Structure 1
Amino acid sequence: MIDYPSGSPADDLRDLIRVRACADGTETVVWWTGDVYGWQPDDGPRHLFGFEGVNVGRARAVPGGYELLTREAAAYLDPRTREILQTWNNPLTGGEAEVMHVWNDPANQRWQEQGRFGPFRAPRVQIGDQVVFNVDVLLAYPSPLPAAEFPDHSAGDTYRAMELFQFFVPASELASDAASVPCTLSWTRVSPWLPWMELGARPGALVYHCRGAKLGGWDEVPDRFREHVAAYDPAFAHAPEDWSEPNETSWTAFRKRHPGSR
């Protein structure tokens, strides 16, 4: 195992863009699959869902860095049959809830050589013939669903979560000048209960454990999931052309559907 020294912020940024997307702006498709577990202080962990999704994006060079323009869609699955759920029998309460799948448009990011937290860095380690990048995203910001307004759907006034990514790249590919290099990935997320689960501020959390890859194009996404996207909105098969904000999340989408739950 070899610690891989980081280069300049510009080199680190271009390397990670080549891994995550494509430095020349070509549209890229990332697909993943996995599972979601729930735990409470006195119960679990429980296997609550399967999970499958795609992110379709393009990296656009801007002064000092890149804009990563993406849309993402994901579906919650029955943990045994792997069928896409429409309703969910909650084993924690015995109730039934309508499932809200993930339709995040946009899901954009700005990556800058010099950002608000300092110079851009892409931590990595070489293990055998692979280079492994890790990107740890630690989140804490005001929740779109204040607890007083959404007592049955909000874990609190601050949204706290972790998104932990690893990208696995052949060292020989990374050493090339290619604008895009192949990668596989792992993703772990620790988050509050989803709003539609109707668990409010009940102690506990969700853990997502997924793996996936950058694909050769939309046609390589499994048929069942492509049909799921086409039935909802074919736009999710393509990346946005321009920057827009704010980003959509499961929490902001829930608020749009349920402007006030009390």
Structure 2
Amino acid sequence: MSLTRRELAAAALAAAALPSASRANPLASLTPLEIFTRIRCSPPGRTTWWSYSGHMLARRDGDPLRPMVSVIGASRSTITMLPDGNIRYALTEAGYYGDPRTGEIADGPMANVLTGEPMSPEHYLSPQTILFTPDLKVLPDMAALPKGLDYTGRITPPDIKHSRIWMAEELFIKLPGTPARVANSLANFEASVADVARGGDFVPATMQYTTLNSFRPWMNMGTAGGSIMMRLNALKCPGWDSVPEPLRRRILADHPEFPANA
């Protein structure tokens, strides 16, 4: 039986639509947690490097934010697949505070923009281990929370716009004390859908990071009410050598073991 011209055209259109439909969701075979770890991390056994910079801003209650210090740093992390389906994420980051105008690292006292009094920023070498769960929760990697610690963490579902994808890791923490301290961490990751679908040892990605936290002790704010906010831009790096050279030089001077096994 021969087909009419109209039937042939309809069949051709239907055939052409099939590849388009398969391309509409190239991530369909991946779970949300698999998508997230491809963006944020590297496959188990490989190290992930991030380089970041930005500012920490501060405010007294009732006042607008003011830039307090610059921030620059790098992180290294690995993931481990656990038998229960969770993923253990182990991170170490080295970071530095500095002049909010020039970005020069502060290695001594500097003026607190809110009080005019001196403060001595405390640079950091900070480890962290957390768990990512298949239902997109973020949990501390410990059998039980310390008494008085309020800890809630989540990973937001994939948000795809055209050829880009976003997922966020959000932590909402209240630390016991007098007064109690809060630590809110909002890390928003972004990558190409095609890169995530392709996978492999390295998926390029960027991160926009925001916090809303209590004053740090080194800020010498006493009992003043207020908060600090960090605003960072980060780039996922294919290796330690892709971290900016001045930052690598400073980290190696302070923490020569930091890039071990890189």
Q: Same fold (TM over 0.5)?
A: yes
Q: 132, 137, 140: which one pairs with 2:171?
A: 137
Deviation, structure 1 residue 189: 0.6
Give 1:187-198 correspondences, 5 Å limit: 187-198=209-220
Answer yes or no: is the 8 Å Cα contact 1:60–1:67 preserved in 2. yes
Query: Residue in 2 aligned with 1:18?
Result: 38
Answer yes or no: is the 8 Å Cα contact 2:78–2:89 preserved in 1. yes
Q: 75, 81, 87: which one pairs with 1:66?
A: 87
Measure the CA separation in 2 of the matches of 1:215 and 1:116.
Answer: 24
Pairwise CA RMSD: 2.7
Answer yes or no: is the 8 Å Cα contact 2:187–2:207 preserved in 1. yes
Query: Residue in 1 aligned with 2:224?
Result: 202
CA shift in 2, pair 1:100/1:239, >3 Å? farther
Q: Structure 1 residue 41 and structure 2 residue 41: aligned?
A: no
CA shift in 2, pair 1:110/1:71, >3 Å? same
* Structure 1 residue ranges, 4+ long, deviating more than 3 angstroms after superposition: 114-118
Read off the aligned partner of 2:106 and give its amino acid letter. Answer: L
Read off the aligned partner of 1:136 and give its amino acid letter. Answer: E
TM-score by length of 1: 0.76
CA shift in 2, pair 1:201/1:110, >3 Å? same
> What secondary structure, in the 3-state scheme, does the structure 2 residue paired with 1:33 have?
strand
CA shift in 2, pair 1:185/1:31, >3 Å? same
Measure the CA separation in 2 of the matches of 1:132 and 1:239.
Answer: 30
* Greater Cα offset, 50-59 or 33-42: 33-42
CA shift in 2, pair 1:48/1:239, >3 Å? farther
**CA-to-partner distance for each residue in 1:175-222, whole Å, 9 max, x for gaps?**
224254211110001111111111133111111111111101111111
Query: Residue in 2 aligned with 1:224?
Result: 246
Alignment gaps of 5+ in structure 2:
1-24, 140-151
Read off the aligned partner of 1:196 and give its amino acid letter. Answer: W
Deviation, structure 1 residue 97: 2.1
CA shift in 2, pair 1:69/1:121, >3 Å? closer
Answer yes or no: is the 8 Å Cα contact 2:130–2:138 preserved in 1. no
Read off the aligned partner of 1:52 and give its amino acid letter. Answer: I
Query: Taking CA–CA contacts closer than 8 Å with sequence separation of 6 or more, which of the two structures ends up with the larger relative contact order?
Result: 1
Mark the structure with the bigger radius of gyration.
2
Give 1:19-168 correspondences, 5 Å limit: 19-63=39-83, 64-86=85-107, 87-104=109-126, 106-113=127-134, 122-142=156-176, 146-147=177-178, 156=179, 158-168=180-190
Q: How many residues align?
A: 222
Measure the CA separation in 2 of the matches of 1:89 and 1:116.
Answer: 37
Deviation, structure 1 residue 223: 1.6
Measure the CA separation in 2 of the matches of 1:230 and 1:83.
Answer: 17
Deviation, structure 1 residue 79: 0.8
Identity %: 24
Measure the CA separation in 2 of the matches of 1:132 and 1:178.
Answer: 19
